[in-house]
Structure 1
Amino acid sequence: MAFLWFLLGLMIGLGVLSWYHIQLTRQLQFLMSSLQPQGSRRSLVSVLRLRQAVAASVDAQEALLTDLETWRHLSLAAPIGILQVDEENQLIWCNAQAGQLLSIQPPTAPTRRLLLELVRSYELDQLIEQTRVLRKPCQSDWTFHPVCADPSQLSRQMPRPLRAHSLPLRDGCVGVFLESRQEAVLLAQQRDRWISDVAHELKTPLTSIRLVAETLQIRLEPPLRDWIDRLLNETIRLSSLVQDLLDLSQLEANPHPSLRCKTVDLTRLIQSAWFGLEPLARNKQLRLDYVGPDRLLIQLDESRIHRVLLNLLDNAIKYSPPQQAIRVQASLITNDRSDPNLSKQLVQLDVIDAGLGFPSDALPYVFDRFYRADPSRSRSPAEVEISKTYAVGKNTAAANSASSDDAQSTKGTHAVSVSSGSGLGLAIVRQIVEAHHGSVQASNHPETHGGWLQVFLPLQRDDA
C-alpha cells in the first residue's frame, strides 16, 4: 500500500515537473522569436558605431586641447600685443608684448580691473567701445603717453606711436591687436628730413641757374633762344618742386603759428583761383560750375587756402576731359561726423570733375607725397608751358598787388601756383587744411564718376 502511494506521488511530481518544463520552453521560444537575428546585428552595429564615435570625440577633444595650448603659447610669445576685455571693459588677459607696449603687467589674479585704470589711454578705450557698438573690426592710430608712478622712471617713459586693430568677440568681449609704429615714424621723419635738406641745398644753385638763363635769354638770337627757353622752363619746374618740398616741411614742422588768419570771403577766393587757372581751362574748353552762397565769410589764412584752391582746381583741370564742367560746391554744415577734433560749424567745399576718377585701391594714398594714381596720366608739354607761363605772370602780379605785410606772409606760398605733376599738390592740400583744424577726403562722385575732393574747414577758429 505504501508502495502505491509512493508511485502516485512520483507520478504527480513528474507531471508537475513536465508542466513546468513545458512552460519554460514556451517562454524561451517566445523570447527567441522576439529577438530576430537581423535586429540583433543592427543593435550590435549601433553599439559599435557609438563606441567608435565616443573614441573619435575623445581624440578630437585631445587634439583641440593641444591646438588650444599651442595657440596660447603662440599668443603669449607673439611679437605683437594681444589683449582681451570683457563686456564691462575689464582686462581679461594680455600677452607680454601688450604689457610692454602699454607699460602694464599681465593680469595674474582672478579679480579683474578696468582697462582704463591700468592704461590711461582714452583712444584705446574709445576704439573698444566703437568696436562693441558697430560690431565690426576697427582700427586706430594714436600716440600713447605712458604714466609712471615712479618719478625716477619718467625720463624713460617716452611717447609711443601705436596702431590698434580691434574685433568683436562673443558675449560683448573685444580683442585688440597692438603694434608699435615707432620704426615707421622714425623712417618717415628721416625721409622728410633728408628731402628737406636736399631741397634747401638745391634752392640756391637753381636760383643761380635761373638768373643766368634769364640773363642769356634777352641776349641771344632766336635760334639759340629756344634752348634757353627750354632750360628756363625746366629750371622753373625744378624750383617749383623744391618750393613745394620746403612748404611741406615748414607746415609739418610748425603748422599753426605760421598761419595768418583773418576773415575772408571764400566765394571771392574761389573765383580768384579759377581766374588764375583760366589759361589751362581755356586750352581744354573747361568751365566752372559754382554752387553756393554769393558771400561766405570764414576765418582762414588767405594765401594758404588760395594755394589749396589752386591745387584742387589744377588737379580737376588736369584730369577732366575737354568741353566739360568742373563743379565747385560750398555750403555750411553742422559737424555730425564722428571726428571730435572738428568744429561744430563747418564749411564744406566740394571739387568735382568729370574725369575717370580715382582707382579704388589708390584712394587711401592720394594725399601722400609723390603718389600718383596713374603715372602715365601726365601733362602734355603744351599744358606745362601754359602752367609755367601762368606761374611767372602770377608771381609778378602778386608782387605788384600785395602789401608789404601780405607779401611777407605769402612768401614761399605763391612762388609756385600750380602743381607740375610731381605728386605733391594734394599732399600740400592736406597739410594746409589740417593746419586749419580741418580735414580733407577723396572719393569718386556717384553722378559724374570723376574725382571728388571734399574739404571741411571750421567756420571760426576756436583759438581765434
Structure 2
Amino acid sequence: MMRSLATKFTLAFLFVGIVGALSVSILTRDRTQDAFTQFVADKGRTTVVNILTSYYETNGSWNGVDSLFTQRDPTTDEPRDPIGVVDVDGMIVYGERPLLPNQKAPPELIQNGDQIIVNDKLVGFLIVARPLNPNGDINAPPPNSPEASFLNTLQDSTLLSLGVATTVALLLGFLLSRSLTKPIRALTRATQKMAKGELGHQVHIHSKDELGVLAQSFNQMNHDLSAALEARQQMTADVAHDLRTPLTVLRGYTEPLRDGSLQGSPELYGIMHEEVVHLQHLIDDLRTLSLADSGELPLQPRLVDPRALLERTALAYMSLAEESGVQLAVEAADDLPSISVDVERMTQVLRNLVSNALRYTPQGGRIVLGADGSGNGDFGDAQSKRFSTLTVSDTGSGIPVEDLSHIFDRFYRADKARSRGGGASGLGLAIVRSIVEAHGGTISVKSESQNGTIFTISIPVKIDR
C-alpha cells in the first residue's frame, strides 16, 4: 500500500519528536539525579562537619564523639548514609557499618572525605560510605527519601513533557506536511489533466520557494503547449483552407474540360497555372518552415557586402516601385564590414519585406533599404561579436499596435480583409524570422498606424582580436 507524502512527513516528524524527547528525558533524568544527590549529600555533610568542628573545639579530642551520633541524621528524621570520623592518623574513631571503629580507614574514602580543621589545624576527616540500595544502585538515594520523591516527580514531569513533545511534533508534522504537499497535489492534478489532453490549466501556488518555481515553470510549459497546440490546429485549418481554394478552382475547370462542356483557352489555362503555382509556393513555404523548425534549413553562407545585398533587392523591385509611384532607395555606407550569409536566403528575406512595404505604401510614399555596422558586443576571450543591421522602412499605413506581436505568426494577417490575394500564403514573415534566426540573427519591427513601419535585421559579424 502506497503512503502519501503527507503521511511520510507526519511519521517522520513524529519519529524525530519521540526520539528527541526520549533522549532529552533519559539524559536529563540521569544528570539531574546525580547532581541532586550530590547536592543533598554535600549539604548534609557540611552540617555534620560543622557539628564535629564545634565538638573538637570544645573537647580538644575525639573522645566520646560517638555520643553525637545515633541512627538518625542530626538535622533530619530521614535515614542517612553510614558515616565515619577519622583522626589525622587515619584511624576510625567513630564509624557505622561497614565502617568499624579502631580500624584503618580506606585511603580512597579519606581522599574523598571532608577535612575537619580547628584553629587552622587539621584534626580529622568525615568519611561517608554509601551502601547499595534495594535496587542495587550505589548512587541512588534511599527509597521513600525526599531525594527519591523529588526524582520521581522529575521523572513524571519528563514523561509528561515527552507526551506533550510527541503531540506537538505530530501536529507540526501534519500541518507542515499539508503545506508542503498541497502544491504537489495541485501539480499532480494539473499533470493528470494534461495527460488527458486538457492543456492550459494553471496551478495557483504563491510560495517563493523551489515548489513555487516548479509551479511557475509548469504553468509556463502548460501555457506554451496549449499555445503550440492552438497554433498547430489553426495552422492545419489555414493550410487546409489555402489548399482547398486552388484545388476547388482547378476542379471547377478540369471537370467540365473532361466532360467536354467547357472548351479550353489560353486564359483558362493561365488561371489554372496560377493556381498550381500558388500551390507550389505554399508547399515550398511549408517545407522551408519545417526545415527551419528542425534546425535542418540548408544554408550556404559566404561573405557579402551588405550594401550590395540591398542594391540587388532594390534593383529587383525598382520597376514595380516606379509603376506604383513609390520611391525605392538604398542608404548604406560603402565601407561596411562584410557579413556571412546565404545570399539567396537573405535575398528572399529582403524581397519579402520590400514586397510587403510596396503593398502598403501609397503612391508618393518612400521605401528605404539601409545598413549599419555599429552594433557591438563582447562574447568571448579570443573573439568579439559585432552586429550588422539591415533595415527596411516605409512611409505606408503602418501596423496596428494590437497586431505587432503577432505579425511573425504563421498565417497571421494584420489586414483581415486580405486573404490569399496576390498569391500570399500568410507564411512570409514567419519564414523571414526563421531564416534570420537560422543565421544566428534577430528581427524586430517598429510601427505605428498611418506612420510607416521599420523592420530591423541584426546579423552577427565575428572579428578576430
TM-score interval (norm. to shorter): 0.3 to 0.5
Please give the TM-score of this superposition, normalised by the length of structure 2: 0.46
Please give the TM-score of this superposition, normalised by the length of structure 1: 0.46
Structure number, greater radius of gyration: 2
